[in-house]
Structure 1
């Protein structure tokens, strides 16, 4: 059995539309759990802030995505963050470049947004940044490490705490190799490893394609999925078993960040069953 209790401090990715499902499952989720609220096209800041307020009312920690390239102006960012702090008690955010091909405002990337100084002035205490175990479409390996180190150092120098969050993936060995390299470089901050909650295989394949996640036949097989059974469902048991069993003290603090593609209730139920089994 896995030696690392990796589900103890899991977090969840919850869209604004899924907040009612989160409310229904709230009693089964550890009080104070971190709930990431993604920044989705077609929604306005009022909807995002209302979701954050509900997450806070449920007894969880809201963590808003802040996509640098989608921010139109410094004034918009300042208004959004200050309202989040005042109205929902937000103290943490996840700063990403965003999927916009070109900046819509003053921020070309997540580094420039962090270094603008607005987050710490507004009352943000913890800043999440992206880690890339499977690589990055436009950065070399050395560039990825340089950028991650710079962001973490900048966050610390501004009196905040860095958190590294990865995209979901299907190959635990790739994640373990990346974690070892991360720690060897002296980057000691907590990591949340993205993992899909149980969902239909076709749903997982669709999200993988949308997010640029490697899902080749060999990786599907390692994850426990047969290419001939694309109409079935799959959970992350094999991935999490391998990840947890491979972790040691040298890997530092590692928790799961669950993307509940098959629904929040299904993901929470999976955690309960996994804990009982482990």
Structure 2
């Protein structure tokens, strides 16, 4: 695959989003001037935080000029009333108009919601002013579902969201193999699912930390997959950035892939991810100028 052009890199990076936990809000505030206004900031649901912390994070994101996207972890929500109260406060206090709905990691639901589809069916999202509903995508597969079942569930959720007057979006788990992601995107569009996709990208971090998060999130991290990402299995010290992954994504995307942009998981810190984004942009621009001069 040929190297991506500066325009390809720019197009892919233009609408990047970030995943930032409630406890990382001070770091987000410190770097806010380096992030375009209106950028989507995804706020994960963490068991160590309560709804007040999540709502405070959403308010802070809005104050900084960004779009808050809180996660709703279906199996962790104790009742319909709890969900309704959270959504109403999110709308009233932080102007939340988009969210990510996920099943969550509990084996048994704490309340009436077994999966994200159950939340969509309640009607509470649209009545609370939610306009964009993101759902999870799994290019590397899902431990509990076969491939055909995954596609059926994804199609069903997108149709259900649209039927309720909202716009669906897909956010994928972060991955190490751009080829797998590109193939998944091709299959997604071939099925007629044309919604925007945010592709999960691990921000630069220590290799040990990347592998730790991969294990926690069920992301494939075999020796061959790491090699395609640019990490040698024999070199597990130091840091790694997503240069190879991003190059292959930017070069491989075509108009047929539709709206696709990176969703950064800043495992090594927000500042480090923003440094990397700026450096990557600058490198692509310099390469383009060099080609013009030659």
Query: Is the TM value for this pair above 0.5?
Result: yes
SS at match of 1:183: helix
2:186 matched residue in structure 1: 180
Report deviation, 1:77: 0.1
Report deviation, 1:60: 0.1
**2:220 corresponds to 1:214:** yes
2:158 matched residue in structure 1: 152
Report deviation, 1:178: 0.2
Q: Highest CA radius of gyration, 1 or 2?
A: 2
TM-score, with structure 1 as normaliser: 0.99
TM-score, with structure 2 as normaliser: 0.94
Q: Partners in 2 of 1:100 and 1:85 — Cα distance?
A: 27
- Say which of 30, 37, 55 aligns to 2:36: 30
Q: Partners in 1 of 2:40 and 2:97 — Cα distance?
A: 11
Q: Partners in 1 of 2:48 and 2:24 — Cα distance?
A: 15
2:132 matched residue in structure 1: 126
Q: Partners in 1 of 2:244 and 2:58 — Cα distance?
A: 32
1:226 matched residue in structure 2: 232
Q: Partners in 2 of 1:138 and 1:196 — Cα distance?
A: 24
- Say which of 39, 43, 49 aligns to 2:45: 39
RMSD: 0.7
SS at match of 2:111: coil
Q: Partners in 2 of 1:179 and 1:73 — Cα distance?
A: 35
After TM superposition, the runs of 4+ consecutive aligned structure 1 residues lying more than 2 A away are none
Q: Partners in 2 of 1:87 and 1:197 — Cα distance?
A: 30
Gaps of 5+ in 2: 285-294
- 1:38-70 Cα deviation digits (max 9, x unpaired): 010121100100010000000000000001111
Q: Partners in 1 of 2:41 and 2:247 — Cα distance?
A: 23
Q: Partners in 2 of 1:42 and 1:245 — Cα distance?
A: 39
Q: Partners in 2 of 1:229 and 1:24 — Cα distance?
A: 33
1:88 matched residue in structure 2: 94
Q: Partners in 1 of 2:56 and 2:114 — Cα distance?
A: 27
2:199 matched residue in structure 1: 193
2:70 matched residue in structure 1: 64
Report deviation, 1:201: 0.2
Report deviation, 1:97: 0.3
- Say which of 274, 278, 286 aligns to 1:268: 274
1:2 matched residue in structure 2: 4
Q: Partners in 2 of 1:100 and 1:35 — Cα distance?
A: 25
Q: Partners in 2 of 1:189 and 1:58 — Cα distance?
A: 27
Gaps of 5+ in 1: none
- Say which of 244, 265, 277 aligns to 1:259: 265
Q: Partners in 1 of 2:193 and 2:216 — Cα distance?
A: 29
Report the number of matched residues: 278
